[in-house]
Structure 1
């Protein structure tokens, strides 16, 4: 966008170092020469925007963010346009971002709760003004100098209530980051503040587990996982997560918006209450008080019950104390007594109870008295028990793993050709994919698992690049994603 030489904007903002790049421009570290303070300056080259929507979105960001006076939202100092470059001057955060915090290692539970509370409070303020962030993720949340977190980048914000003009982010336009997209957003539907709550659930999950709840081989595959896959229990990866927090994360990740908590305010209160409980228990156990927050304590809110949990989820039963075994034995004894009573009551018409089917009593037969001598019988030769003929089981033929890879490749390649013929995929992109498919086939023919795996990784990498660049459209990706997954599965078995 610009050279490494220092540049001055509006006669006062000296740009010194690029510190970030996003879909809507670049972010630079700079200095306000008038006030003598460090700032962050976001730039967008308006000449690179094919229509007016980019500039309008940038201007909307400036107005929306500047109008949000909240301690959890980054402060905007200035904005303007100069030489075809729009700029937004913001407070410079020392960091780290939550993305960097997650990469550094496990985040303590009390810190996760406090971060979630602060972000929920910021979203409450934004939603009250009719603003939906639409891209809540760890990279857009960073620590400020006061130890609190700030929400960044309202660059793709949408007014929740239509103003009558055409929305900059209309229905069927997917904007955001795949790992943190609500299902309705992933499917290109209309969104409201509840999409931000879903994204906050993903952020809390990532802070606890070290990874987002869904991550597929491609962005489209990830979006489909948000829409279709069951919500994972964060306790599987982070067992020390309190039950109330795991339930709240699960509720935030509900597929249907109306099944999530009703508002960001409700989430903030739930986290506040949970944090207080967590701190009390930690103090009672002699641990560090979670009430020693990154910021001074706020007045305790009026208690609000947590959102109801989904009754369909599997909940680990509460472990019993010393009396649990006694109850179990009592239940077993009662069941045995009931079985005996049932057996006793099961009889024929004469009232004789039938023997338990589980106990076999050998019958003793007494021959009836007779005046005539018993007939002489020759000792019967015992009938020899035929020796069973044991045939060797027919061995199950080993699957032809190479053939399975070839079959999966053929299905993928055929779909690529179909998309090209239908005008959905351009010829250059189809050739890139087909060439790599040919290399994978060669690895199978040479019975070379290493080459086959390496070429498959290359196919996935190139495919992701084509998806990101838009060469593979969403329509094409929806058809190719599952076939590519089949190729990966077959190759993994072949290389094992």
Structure 2
């Protein structure tokens, strides 16, 4: 339980600095997403500042196409943001099954333009518009999430050069100033990915960048007007891109590929304290219902300076990393007692005590994973299985919370490499194996836990090699 109000139910994803959980607001009786800053990051003042900057950024943008934030808290030992729970997948997840139909791809882009118009009107640049940061609700709404590296235009954090390979504008990658056209580059790369299944190839020259994208799309059967819009969005020179999200929406609408259904929420939805300029063209809904819930990031008012709480200590949370501690301590005590009894019996020459005596003290993790999950040769399936087993072992005491967090990070490193370009993914899988060996050698990983995780990591490394 967090703040005496939010029940933490199950983990649904890891980010670069936080973990997202599915939860429930007991006061308002509604499901929520809870983003909790990782303990190691919480100790870093710069990371706490970035975490709060994200919450502040999204809180300033109440908009139907931006994931909403409901609450934020900074406590003595953790920080968390309570957000809207989006009942659908990311565009990135949908693209695993191939490109989107053109009408849907343009519809997603148009709705994204509405969110960007709101952000840009508030003076903010998202700086990481990618398929992974666009969520699709089952009602057809597109929700932009993860404002973790967003920058106010008047203070663009020049020292923070961040973004996602394949979607980062050249000026941002070079550490230069950013403006709304930076996000339009990411939008163009995302639209290209929705139409083809992958972002544009990097490494083209200033002129070749624009003409190459257009030629690629035309060769794949994308109509010339739409291919020309994508080429303009992905132009290397910001001056060759549309001036803003409203102009980009007008160009997309003029390309004639958006659905002819009734218009969705207007891109000019009002912000607090003002109304955005009009955008041309209507855009419809995505008619197909999309599976697999996913969580997005949302917004809250700027938080106070982190200070220790004066209020009485709240009940121990139900999250695994809290209730696990007494379980581990109790398990260690039982094992020590059993070991002492075994030593005494052995010294007296008596038969060894039945191994069943130690059973209750061990977490139910000795069983090796079922053969069926191991049969999958898809790296994404193997990564999911690894993550589930780590979570299970953490819940049942097979792995200490700190070591489980470290292993999750290793799994996430493999996933990031695989998602971007596949390079070095096998090397990161080997790093995961090495970490398992180190934990086993240091006595921090039990033999049953090692026998559960090592075959999965080995299988993953073999698949990626």
For normalisation by structure 2, the TM-score amounts to 0.55
Unaligned runs of 5+ in 2: 269-277, 282-421, 432-465
| 1:458-477 matched pairs, under 5 angstroms | 461-462=426-427
Shift of 1:57: 1.5
In 2, distance between residues paired with 1:161 and 1:239?
41
C-alpha contact 2:171 2:177 (8 A) present in aligned 1: yes
Unaligned runs of 5+ in 1: 1-7, 215-221, 280-289, 305-456, 467-496
- Corresponding residue SS for 2:209: coil
Residue equivalent to 1:292: 261
Range with greater deviation from structure 2 (83-92 or 234-243): 234-243
In 2, distance between residues paired with 1:208 and 1:226?
22
Shift of 1:256: 1.4
- CA RMSD between the two structures: 3.1
- Corresponding residue SS for 2:195: helix
Residue equivalent to 1:170: 158
Is 1:65 aligned to residue 58 of structure 2? yes
In 2, distance between residues paired with 1:180 and 1:24?
20
| Counterpart pick for 2:115 among 122, 145, 169 | 122
Residue equivalent to 1:255: 236
Residue equivalent to 1:185: 172
Shift of 1:235: 5.7
Is 1:265 aligned to residue 234 of structure 2? no
| Counterpart pick for 1:39 among 22, 32, 39 | 32
Shift of 1:293: 5.5
| 1:155-166 matched pairs, under 5 angstroms | 155-162=148-155
In 2, distance between residues paired with 1:70 and 1:58?
20
Shift of 1:47: 4.6
Residue equivalent to 1:27: 20
| Counterpart pick for 1:203 among 175, 190, 193 | 190
Corresponding pairs, count: 281
Is 1:246 aligned to residue 199 of structure 2? no
For normalisation by structure 1, the TM-score amounts to 0.52
In 1, distance between residues paired with 2:150 and 2:236?
22
Cα distance change of structure 1 residues 131 and 267 upon mapping to structure 2, 3 Å threshold: same
- Corresponding residue SS for 2:114: helix
- Corresponding residue SS for 1:16: strand
| 1:384-423 matched pairs, under 5 angstroms | none
C-alpha contact 1:182 1:226 (8 A) present in aligned 2: no
Shift of 1:190: 2.5
Is 1:230 aligned to residue 209 of structure 2? yes
Shift of 1:92: 0.5
C-alpha contact 1:97 1:139 (8 A) present in aligned 2: yes
Residue equivalent to 1:416: none
Between structure 1 and structure 2, the one with the greater Rg is 1
Q: Deviations over 1:348-367 (max 9, x none)?
A: xxxxxxxxxxxxxxxxxxxx
- Corresponding residue SS for 1:179: coil
